[in-house]
Amino acid sequence: MKTAFCLATILASASAFAPASKPAFSTQIAAEDFLEAEPYYDQSTVPVNVWKNKAPFTGKIVSTKRIVGPQATGETCHIIIDHDGDFPYWEGQSWGVIPPGTREKDGKPHSVRLYSIASSRYGDDKTGKTGSLCVRRATYWCPELKAEDPAKKGICSNFLCDTQPGDEVTMTGPAGKVMLMPEEDPKTDLIMVATGTGIAPYRGFIRRLFAEDTPAAEAYKGQAWLFLGVANSDALLYDDEFQAAKKAFPENFRLDYALSREQTNVKGGKMYIQDKVEEYADEVFEKLENGAHIYFCGLKGMMPGIQDMLKGVAEKKDIDYDEWLKKLKKAKQWHVEVY
């Protein structure tokens, strides 16, 4: 049966995930069903831009925690924000954050920065009153100074990574419908491709399907396949959670990492995300042909390599890549959110 799930628990033990057989839920555990549409897969009521720039929402920080090891290529934090149930969202949406202060050049308030939400609609604590962000601190290394230049650091990412419990965060949204899961057919396969903090929406997907007592979890019979590309093992994000899901649901959840500084591709070069996906190209193409949805989230620089790889594979299969891609987009099987 599925058991209670929270970040602290899953980091300590894989037992927070249910066994793969998915028997009846325990009556001793409160179900995550109070934020569902009717029926649960109906997307006509997805909230969009409830809170706007001129009338934003004020959330409060619950916790800010570094979630990468000492050898990671940067600092990434998991930030939990309390919205007291007044800022509903769905998995795959983004929150806007307006950093405090004003711009030096004109004295106007800073503009909104969008961050993919890294939790399910029920939050890490399952109350439906919190949400999480996965944020990498943006810094700039000055070759002349041979040091970080604070004048060029990311305003919003540094604000968020420096927050303390109780701090207020000015927010807008939720934004977007591009990355929503198609839940009407529970047999739909999901192929999730991420670089770095692009993992955020997929963490929400995985929690909803494998770690919570939701109608979507009860119904899901497809396979969710996650590809994550980072520099090294210390830079992996939410690995303990994903390994636990893989152990509990080996038929329904697959996991593949591309570690560019630790692994090599078939040509002997660095293993980037497109190289790892290419290893399974035949299976990926077959799944897409059978109706799977594929998602891409992360730095926009990931897409040229991904698309070049897919185009090369298509040519080997005598498939017209442009027509193939057009078909996927028309069927709404192709989802991209890059920044």
* Catalytic residue numbers, as ranges: 115-116, 297, 337, 339
299 is in an annotated binding site: yes
- Asked if residue 201 lies in contact with residue 179, where contact means CB atoms within 8 angstroms, the answer is yes
Question: Helix (H, G, I), strand (E, B), or coil: what is residue 145?
Answer: coil
Structure tokens at 285: 């193409």
Q: Are strands 147-148 and 141-142 parallel, antiparallel or unpaired?
A: antiparallel
Q: Is 207 annotated as a binding residue?
A: no
Say if residues 213 and 207 touch (Cβ distance below 8 Å): no
Judged by DSSP in three states, 15 sits in helix
Report, in this order, helix, strand and coil percent for the chain, each rounded to 5: 25, 25, 50
The amino acid that residue 86 corresponds to is D
Lateral strand order in the sheet of 76-82:
113-116, 94-98, 168-175, 57-66, 76-82, 130-136
Does 261 show up as a binding residue in the annotation?
yes
C-beta neighbour count of 309 within 10 angstroms: 17
The reply to whether 133 sits in an annotated binding site is no
Strand intervals (E) in 158-275: 168-175, 190-195, 224-230, 253-259
* 45 known ligand binder: no
Burial 176-205, CB ≥16 within 10 A → b, else e: bebbbbbbeebebbbbbbbbbbbbbbbbbb
- Is 270 among the annotated ligand-binding positions? yes
Are the C-beta atoms of 206 and 172 separated by less than 8 Å? no
Residues at the binding site for NADP(+) are: 116, 136, 197, 260-261, 270, 298-299, 337
